[in-house]
A and B are shown apart, each in its own frame.
Chain A
Amino acid sequence: MVEVMANMVAKLALAAPPGSDGHAPADAGHGVASGVGHGVGHVAKVVFGEGGDLLMAVPVLTLGAMVACGLCAALGIRNKLPGWISVGALAGAFAAVLVTFLGWHGQTAIVHGFEWINFQWGGKPSQSLVANFAFYVDTLTLLWMLFVTGLGALIALYASEYMSHDVGLGYCRFFAAFNLFVFSMSCLVMADNLLLLYLGWEGVGLCSYLLIGYFYKKAPAVAAGKKAFIMNRIGDLGLALGVMLVFVKFHSVEYKDLIPLWQGYMELVAHGQWTDVPIEVRWAALLIMVGAFGKSAQVFFYVWLPDAMEGPTPVSALIHAATMVTAGVFLIARLFPLFASDHQLVALTVVAWSGALTAFWSGLIGMAIFDVKRVMGYSTISQLGFMFAGLGLLTPIGASFHTFTHAFFKATLFLGVGAVMHGFGGQLDLRRLSGVAWMKGFGLVGVAMLIGAVNLSGVPFTAGFFSKDMILAQAFALPGGTIAGSQALGWLLLLTAGMTAYYTFRTYFRVFAGPKEFTPGDDPELVDLGRHPKGTTLEAWHAQHGHGHGHGHGHGHDAHAGHGDGHGHGHGPARVDFDPATEDFDPHPPGMAMKGAIFACMALSVLAAGLYFVAPGGDPHTHGGWVAGMIGTSSAAFHAPHGGELFGQDPHAIMYFVSALVGLVGIFIAAYLHGPRGWQGLMVGIRDRADVAPRADALAAKLGGVATAARKKFSVDELYHAVIVLPLRVVAYIFAFLDNFLVDGLVNLVGFMPRGAGTLVRPSQSGVLHDYALRMLMGIGLVLAVALAAMGGGVGGLL
Chain B
Amino acid sequence: MDGLMAILAQGDHPTAMHQVTLLHYLIVSGIMFTLGLIGFVTRRNLIVMFLCTELMFQAAGLAAIAFGRFHLNHTGETFVIFVLTVAAAEAALALALVVLLFRRRETLDASAWAEMKG
From residue 771 to 799 of chain A, which have CB atoms closer than 8 A to chain B? 773-774, 777, 791-793, 797-799
A197 CB to closest chain B CB (Å) equals: 67
- CA–CA, A248 to B100, complex, Å? 81
- CA–CA, A767 to B49, complex, Å? 17
- CA–CA, A799 to B41, complex, Å? 25
User: For chain A, what secondary structure do more than half of its interface residues adopt (helix, strand, loop), or is it mixed?
Assistant: helix
Contact of A793 among B2, B40, B116, B118 (CB under 8 A): B2
- CA–CA, A798 to B44, complex, Å? 33
Q: Which residues on A sit within 8 Å (CB–CB) of B49?
A: 769
Would A773 and B1 be within 8 Å (CB), given that A765-B116, A767-B114, A767-B118 are in contact? no
Complex interface bits, B82-118 against A, C-beta within 8 A gives 1, otherwise 0: 0000000000000000000000000000110111111
Q: Which residues on B sit within 8 Å (CB–CB) of A774?
A: 41
**Is A621 engaged at the interface, CB distance under 8 Å to the other chain?**
no
**Cβ A797 vs Cβ B2 within 8 A:** yes
Chain A residue nearest in CB terms to B40: A773
**Is A762 engaged at the interface, CB distance under 8 Å to the other chain?**
yes
From residue 38 to 69 of chain B, which have CB atoms closer than 8 A to chain A? 40-42, 44, 49
- CA–CA, A791 to B1, complex, Å? 8
**Is A620 engaged at the interface, CB distance under 8 Å to the other chain?**
no
Chain A residue nearest in CB terms to B4: A798
**Cβ B118 vs Cβ A763 within 8 A:** yes
**Cβ B41 vs Cβ A777 within 8 A:** yes
Chain B residue nearest in CB terms to A772: B116
**Is A770 engaged at the interface, CB distance under 8 Å to the other chain?**
yes
Instruction: State how many residues of chain B have any CB contact under 8 Å with chain A.
Output: 17
**Is A764 engaged at the interface, CB distance under 8 Å to the other chain?**
yes
**Is B35 engaged at the interface, CB distance under 8 Å to the other chain?**
no
Complex interface bits, A738-774 against B, C-beta within 8 A gives 1, otherwise 0: 0000000000000000000000011111111110011
Complex interface bits, A197-229 against B, C-beta within 8 A gives 1, otherwise 0: 000000000000000000000000000000000
Q: Which residues on B sit within 8 Å (CB–CB) of A767?
A: 113-118
**Cβ B111 vs Cβ A770 within 8 A:** yes
Would A770 and B110 be within 8 Å (CB), given that A777-B37, A792-B1, A798-B1 are in contact? yes
Contact of A769 among B2, B5, B111 (CB under 8 A): B111
**Cβ A768 vs Cβ B37 within 8 A:** no
The bracket for how many chain A residues form the interface is 10 to 19
B114 CB to closest chain A CB (Å) equals: 3
**Cβ A764 vs Cβ B118 within 8 A:** yes
Would A768 and B114 be within 8 Å (CB), given that A774-B41, A777-B37, A777-B41 are in contact? yes
**Cβ A793 vs Cβ B111 within 8 A:** no
- CA–CA, A791 to B3, complex, Å? 13
A417 CB to closest chain B CB (Å) equals: 75
Q: Which residues on B sit within 8 Å (CB–CB) of A770?
A: 41-42, 44, 110-111
- CA–CA, A415 to B118, complex, Å? 75
**Cβ A769 vs Cβ B117 within 8 A:** no
From residue 1 to 41 of chain B, which have CB atoms closer than 8 A to chain A? 1-2, 5, 37, 40-41
- CA–CA, A768 to B117, complex, Å? 7
Chain B residue nearest in CB terms to A766: B117
B29 CB to closest chain A CB (Å) equals: 14
Q: Which residues on B sit within 8 Å (CB–CB) of A793?
A: 1-2
Complex interface bits, A676-690 against B, C-beta within 8 A gives 1, otherwise 0: 000000000000000
**Cβ B1 vs Cβ A769 within 8 A:** no
**Cβ A768 vs Cβ B118 within 8 A:** no
A601 CB to closest chain B CB (Å) equals: 80
**Cβ B118 vs Cβ A797 within 8 A:** no
- CA–CA, A774 to B118, complex, Å? 17
- Among A767, A774, A777, A792, chain B packs the most CB atoms within 10 A around the CB of A767
**Cβ A765 vs Cβ B1 within 8 A:** no
Would A797 and B41 be within 8 Å (CB), given that A764-B118, A769-B113, A770-B110 are in contact? no
- CA–CA, A791 to B5, complex, Å? 14
Chain B residue nearest in CB terms to A774: B41
Chain A residue nearest in CB terms to B42: A770
**Cβ A765 vs Cβ B117 within 8 A:** yes
Chain B residue nearest in CB terms to A770: B41
Q: Which residues on A sit within 8 Å (CB–CB) of B110?
A: 768-770
- CA–CA, A128 to B109, complex, Å? 84
- CA–CA, A770 to B118, complex, Å? 15
- CA–CA, A764 to B116, complex, Å? 11
**Cβ B37 vs Cβ A766 within 8 A:** no
A778 CB to closest chain B CB (Å) equals: 10
Q: Which residues on B sit within 8 Å (CB–CB) of A791?
A: 1
Chain A residue nearest in CB terms to B43: A770
- CA–CA, A768 to B116, complex, Å? 8
Q: Which residues on B sit within 8 Å (CB–CB) of A769?
A: 49, 110-111, 113
A673 CB to closest chain B CB (Å) equals: 87
B32 CB to closest chain A CB (Å) equals: 16
- CA–CA, A767 to B5, complex, Å? 41
Q: Which residues on A sit within 8 Å (CB–CB) of B44?
A: 770
**Cβ A768 vs Cβ B111 within 8 A:** yes
**Cβ A762 vs Cβ B111 within 8 A:** no
**Cβ A773 vs Cβ B41 within 8 A:** yes
Starting from the known contacts A768-B117, A773-B40, A799-B5, 13 additional A-B residue pairs (CB-CB under 8 Å) come to A763-B118, A765-B117, A766-B118, A767-B113, A767-B116, A767-B118, A768-B114, A769-B49, A770-B110, A770-B111, A777-B37, A791-B1, A798-B1
A interface residues, Cβ below 8 angstroms from B: 761-770, 773-774, 777, 791-793, 797-799
B interface residues, Cβ below 8 angstroms from A: 1-2, 5, 37, 40-42, 44, 49, 110-111, 113-118
Q: Which 6 A-B pairs have the closest CB atoms?
A: A767-B117, A765-B118, A767-B114, A762-B118, A767-B116, A793-B1
Query: What would 29 A/B residue contacts be, using CB atoms closer than 8 Å?
Result: A763-B118, A765-B117, A766-B114, A766-B118, A767-B114, A767-B115, A767-B117, A767-B118, A768-B111, A768-B114, A768-B117, A769-B110, A769-B111, A770-B41, A770-B44, A770-B110, A770-B111, A773-B40, A773-B41, A777-B37, A777-B41, A791-B1, A792-B1, A793-B1, A793-B2, A797-B1, A798-B1, A798-B5, A799-B5
